[in-house]
Amino acid sequence: MPTKIEKDTLSGQDTTGHEWDGLKELNTPLPKWWLWTFYACIAWGVAWVIIYPSIPGWRGTSGWIAREAIVEEVRAATERNAPMMARLREATPAQIAANDEMRAFALAGGRVAFANNCAACHGAGGQGAAGGFPSLADDDWIWGGSLEEIQHTIRHGIRANESDDQRQSQMPRFGADNLLTAAQINDVAEHVLSLTNRATDQAAAGRGAALFAEQCASCHGERGEGNREFGAPRLNDQIWLYGASKPEIVAMIRNPRAGVMPSWQGRLDAATVNMLTVYVQSLGRTN
Ligand code: HEC
Ligand code: HEC
């Protein structure tokens, strides 16, 4: 290895002694400030490893461990909230709603529980989602919007077969089970559209009116006003679970869908169900 360190005449710098085809490499050291920063970082790193738990099995000299700290914080918060949670467990939703202190706590706790358990289906603000997930933030209720009704829905669920007291009903499969012909389904769909003044074939809508009175009114009401006892939605408003268009309405009559919601009484404790009840009702107006 020919190492011939010499001064470069142009820059005045030393060369490293490496030379390729007459090209000599300059020896340009790192700036001092850079080097010192680099050493400081190494020193910082070593100190960090000693003070904090950075190596498996090493707890660090400080004794502070993020995972244990959070466990302790959660324990302290649970302990702090325990008396309030006990009150929320014992009280009825109506009592909670009427008491400023409990109500404020229930709304805050309900918001968190809703984000964790309900938002996936009902949307972050309870605004609902396409495909049968109803908005809880409006004044339109399928099963009822009183505190008792909301609590019953949350506790027992809807068609999930998880509670004997669940919300249960099933619209007949008028097409799939040949209860109505395709022509009759078209007529009754036109009648449903006419409830919101959208019928395009008045003659069909007229024929459909008789069919509706016979086949549908028992659940949806004479004028399509809905019936909460059967969870049969209003058909004479602008709010649709499964779509407002004629093809979507025809599909629903032919082979109805049926929304399912889990029962929460075995999954969430009573205080949380109460908080959710008050929170959900606060999203819409009382009805
Ligand atoms: C897996 C999806 C899903 C989850 C999770 C879910 N829901 Fe529902 N929820 C539904 C569906 C679907 C319906 C409508 C059922 C129907 O068509 O009757 C519904 C209906 C409701 C209703 C009745 C609305 C009305 O108009 O009467 C309430 C109240 C409700 N949900 C509250 C909640 C709360 C509170 C939570 C969280 C603890 C929750 N839901 C979690 C799917 C869900
Ligand atoms: C046994 C009761 C029952 C009968 C009878 C019934 N329905 Fe329904 N219908 C329901 C229920 C319950 C739902 C809501 C299903 C759900 O929430 O998932 C519904 C939903 C609908 C919807 C969808 C509403 C929306 O918001 O998307 C339409 C449209 C509809 N029914 C039309 C009819 C027509 C037309 C007839 C008569 C040919 C009829 N239904 C007969 C119970 C009934």
- Band of the pLDDT at 287, cuts 50, 70, 90? very low
Strand ranges (E), the chain: 15-20, 23-26
The CATH number that domain 69-166+261-283 falls under is: 1.10.760.10
The fourth-level CATH superfamily of domain 182-254 is: Cytochrome c-like domain (1.10.760.10)
Closest CA to 278 of 138, 143, 151, 140: 151
Confidence at residue 5, expressed as pLDDT on a 0 to 100 scale: 81
Ligand nearest to the CA of 157: 1
What does the radius of gyration of the chain's CA atoms come to, in whole angstroms? 35
> What's the distance, CA 98 to chain centroid?
28
Mutation test residue for ligand 2: of 216, 240, 255, the one with most atoms within 8 Å of CB:
216
What spacing in Å lies between the alpha carbon of 124 and ligand 1's midpoint? Answer: 13
* DSSP notation for 136-157: SSSS--SS--SHHHHHHHHHH-
Count how many residues are written for the chain: 287
Give the mean model confidence (pLDDT) for residues 210-221: 98
Ligand in closest contact with the CA of 172: 2
Please report, rounded to a whole number, the percentage of residues in the chain having pLDDT higher than 90. Answer: 85
In a mutational test of the pocket of ligand 2, which residue from 122, 187, 211, 220 has the highest number of ligand atoms less than 8 Å from its CB? Answer: 220
Where residue 211 falls among pLDDT bands split at 50, 70, 90? very high
Q: Check residue 184 and give its pLDDT.
A: 98
The mean of the pLDDT values for the chain is: 94
Measured N-to-C along each axis, helices 182-194 and 246-254 cross at an angle, to the nearest 10 degrees, of 130
Q: pLDDT per residue over 101-147, tens digit each?
A: 999 999 999 999 999 999 999 999 999 999 999 999 998 999 999 99
Residue 285 pLDDT greater than 70, yes or no:
no
Give the SS3 label for residue 25. strand
Residue 113 and residue 110: Cα distance in Å, rounded? 5
Secondary structure of residue 199 in the 3-state scheme: coil
Question: Residue 194 is which amino acid?
Answer: S
Residue nearest to atom 12 of ligand 2 (CA): 232
Q: Looking at the predicted structure, is the pLDDT value of residue 178 above 60?
A: yes
The residue extents of the domains of the chain are 69-166+261-283, 182-254
Measured in Å, residue 170 CA sits from the centre of ligand 2 at 8
Tally of CA atoms within 13 A in the half-sphere of 208 that contains its CB: 25
Instruction: Count the alpha carbons within 13 Å of 48 in the hemisphere toward its beta carbon.
Output: 7
Classify residue 158 by its DSSP letter: B
User: Per-residue pLDDT for 286 more than 60?
Assistant: no
Structure tokens at 275: 């908080």
SS3 (DSSP) at 85: helix
Q: Do domains 69-166+261-283 and 182-254 have the same CATH topology?
A: yes
Per-residue pLDDT at 3: 64
Which residues have C-beta atoms less than 6 Å from ligand 2? 132, 142, 169, 171-172, 174, 188, 192, 215-216, 218-220, 230-233, 235, 240-242, 249, 252-253, 257-259
Give pLDDT, residue 226.
97
Q: Which atom of ligand 2 sits closest to the CA of residue 211?
A: 38
**Ligand 1 closest atom vs CA 136:** 24
- For ligand 1, residues with CB inside 6 Å are 117-118, 120-122, 132-134, 136, 141-144, 150, 153-154, 158, 231, 241, 259-262, 264, 276, 280
Q: How far is the CA of 273 from the centre of ligand 2 (A)?
A: 29
